[in-house]
Amino acid sequence: MRLNGKVAIVTGAGSGIGEATAKLFAEEGAKVVVADIEPNLGRKVVEQISKKGGAAVQVVVDVSKADEVKGMIDKCINTFGKLDVLFNNAGIEGPEGPLWEGEEEDWNRVIDVNLKSIFLGCKYAIPHMMRTGGSIINTASELGLVGTPSHPAYSASKGGVIALTRSLALQCAPYGIRVNCICPGATETPLLKRWIGEKQKNERTREVIKEIPLGRLGKPIEIAHAALYLASDESSFTTGSILVIDGGSTAQ
């Protein structure tokens, strides 16, 4: 098993990419901290992992709050004794529309959840990981590489994740900590469903798929396998990388 003996935290683990990754990490031998702001979703994932013989513990956390993130890291260390992998995956899409019509509090919320959360997770995790090395994986987005007219705050936050990943990779390299990020394209997750909306779901889904050279949406498990590679020792010489998994959208 590729993560045998490792301990991992996955944020946003109650659904979508986080859920798929938490389960995959457990199947590959990791002990997993399932972190999510929604108690029922996190509990369900822990139960499913446990039923398959995996080891997991739930943490209810708002990743934009310093005390809660510190508590998440402390829970991991107190429960499993160490931390090898931190997957900063939790994120929100934020408001749609022109930037000049948006509210400051909405902008701040997107930046706090998508970008500040990575600062907080790394701030409290890295001192523990310095002892043994490890892997930090951040979820950015293809929209951190290109612009979007519909969600400027989201695009800005994900561009920040990419820049922060590169800087942290350089800071952490002397300690044997690798820092990489994943840029998913349009993937079948609750976030994408909210983005598309219910009223025009079929029409907008077709429009999204038209922009993807491979002709379909991504699946959470496909992103999870990328996270597994970055979490495992197979990527031991990989740091500061931006792994784009978007069906070819940004290659156009």
Full DSSP string of 36-99: ES-HHHHHHHHHHHHHTT-EEEEEE--TT-HHHHHHHHHHHHHHHS---EEEE--------S-G
Averaged over 237-248, what is the pLDDT? 98
The pLDDT confidence band at residue 250, using thresholds 50, 70 and 90, is very high
pLDDT of residue 150: 85
Averaged over 207-217, what is the pLDDT? 91
Q: For this structure, is 154 an active site residue?
A: yes
Res. 206: pLDDT tops 60: yes
Mean per-residue pLDDT over the chain, rounded: 95
pLDDT of residue 3: 98
Pairing of strands 134-139, 85-88: parallel
Query: Using one digit for the tens of pLDDT, what is the confidence trace for 118-174?
Result: 999 999 999 999 999 999 999 999 999 998 888 899 999 999 999 999 999 999 999
Catalytic residue among 124, 154, 175, 229: 154
CATH-assigned architecture of domain 7-186+219-251: 3-Layer(aba) Sandwich (3.40)
pLDDT of residue 212: 94
